[in-house]
Amino acid sequence: MDDQIITIERHIVEQEREYPEATGVFSNLLYDIALAGKIIAREMARAGLVGTLGSTGEMNIQREEQMKLDVFANQTIIRMNSFTGRLAAMASEEREDVIDIPRGYGTGKYVLVFDPLDGSSNIDINATVGTIFGVYRRRSEEGPGTIADCLQKGRHTVAAGYIIYGSSTMMVYTTGKGVHGFTLDSGVGEFLLSHPDLRIPNTPRYSSVNHAYEAFRSEGAKRFGRWLQGIDEEDPREPLSERYFGALVADFHRTLLKGGIFYYPADSRYPEGKLRLVYEANPLAFIVEEAGGYASDGLQNILDVEPRDLHQRTPLFIGDRVLVEKAEQFIAKFD
C-alpha cells in the first residue's frame, strides 16, 4: 500500500464518486456513524476511570443485564442520527420498537439498524466489544419511517459495518464496493485506512463456537462440530484451531481477517438461534459476502431470510464459504 494517509471521510467521498446519483447524504450518514464510533471509543477508553463500567442495574428489552456503556452507546448513535434529516427511522437492539425521528426534524431516505454495543458482557473484563450497523433505503414514500422500512432482507442492504473496540478501535464497512478497514488514530481523532479491500483468506485458520452447549444442538450441528475438530471418522480432516471471544463482532472480525468460521447454531435453549437477524447477522453477512465469504442460517443464505420481527433470532454460520456450506450439508443430512 502506498504511504498515502487516507481518512475514512476521504475514502467515503472517493467511494461516493462511483455513484453518479449520489447526493452526499449517504456519505454524510457514514460520517455520522464514524463519529459516533469515535465518541463511544473515547468513553470506552476512560470507562474504568469515570465509573461508567458496570451495570445500570436494569434489564434491557432482551432481558439481558444492561451495562452503562450499552446505554451510552445507544444514546450516542441515536443522538448522532436524529437531527440530520438523513434517516426516516432507526432500530436498535436496545429499543423494543422503531425509533422515530423527533417531531420537527426532517426525515430522509435511509434507515439505520444497529446493535450499539455487542458483547457488552465483555466490558467489565476489558475485553473486545463492538457496534454493528446496517443501512437500507426506506421503502415507504415519505413521512416517518415504518417497521417495514426496517424489516428488509439483508440482500437489500446499501451499507453495513462494525466498529470494534479492542486493542485498537477499528471501523470496517462496505457499500458493496469492497470491504475496507480503518484504524482510529486517537491522537488526531481520525479513522485512517489500514485494511483496504479486505478479503476472507481462502485457507481457514480458526473455528469459533461455544462448546458448552453442544449437547443442546441438533445432530447435524454436533456432527459438523466434530468434523471441524477432525474427529469425524467418516470424513477425517486436520482439526481447526479454536478461538472464542464471546463477542460476535470480535469473533467475526478475526474470522474475516484470519479465515475460518464462527457459528452459533439453534439449540434447545434458543430454538430460533441466539443471535439477532436484523442488526447482527444481516450486516455481518453482507460484509462477509462482499469479502468472498458466506453466511447461512444452516438452511439458506442469511441475506435471503425475510425478517418478520425487529428482534427476530437466527442460527448463524458465517465465514469461509466451503466450511459454511459443509455445515449446511451436515444439517441437511442429519437433522
Q: Which residue ranges make up the site for ligand P6P (CB under 6 A)?
A: 118-119, 121, 210, 246-248, 251, 274
Cα–Cα distance measured from residue 329 to residue 334, given in angstroms and rounded to the nearest whole number: 9
CB of 334 to ligand P6P, least distance (A): 23
- Please say which residue, 70 or 149, places its beta carbon nearer to ligand P6P: 70
CB of 72 to ligand P6P, least distance (A): 17
- Please say which residue, 118 or 320, places its beta carbon nearer to ligand P6P: 118
- Please say which residue, 138 or 313, places its beta carbon nearer to ligand P6P: 313
Residue 78, phi then psi, degrees to nearest 5: -65, -45
CB of 34 to ligand P6P, least distance (A): 22
- Please say which residue, 121 or 202, places its beta carbon nearer to ligand P6P: 121
Q: Is 39 exposed, middle or buried (CB count within 10 Å of its CB: 0-12, 13-18, 19+)?
A: middle
CB of 213 to ligand P6P, least distance (A): 7
CB of 100 to ligand P6P, least distance (A): 26
- Please say which residue, 49 or 215, places its beta carbon nearer to ligand P6P: 215
Cα–Cα distance measured from residue 55 to residue 223, given in angstroms and rounded to the nearest whole number: 38
CB of 2 to ligand P6P, least distance (A): 36
Q: What angle do CA 292, 158, 289 make, to 5 degrees?
A: 10
DSSP one-letter code for 278: I
CB of 81 to ligand P6P, least distance (A): 22
Cα–Cα distance measured from residue 132 to residue 8, given in angstroms and rounded to the nearest whole number: 17
- Please say which residue, 35 or 61, places its beta carbon nearer to ligand P6P: 61
Q: Which helix (H) or strand (E) holds 275?
A: strand 275-276
Strands (E), 68-197: 87-92, 99-100, 110-118, 129-137, 159-165, 169-174, 179-185, 190-195
Find out whether 29 and 135 touch, Cβ atoms under 8 Å: yes
- Please say which residue, 223 or 274, places its beta carbon nearer to ligand P6P: 274
- Please say which residue, 119 or 225, places its beta carbon nearer to ligand P6P: 119
Residue 60, phi then psi, degrees to nearest 5: -85, -175
Q: Which helix (H) or strand (E) holds 59?
A: strand 55-59
In the chain, which residue ranges form alpha helices assigned H by DSSP? 8-16, 25-50, 68-82, 147-150, 219-228, 248-258, 282-290, 321-334
CB of 246 to ligand P6P, least distance (A): 5
Cα–Cα distance measured from residue 272 to residue 98, given in angstroms and rounded to the nearest whole number: 22
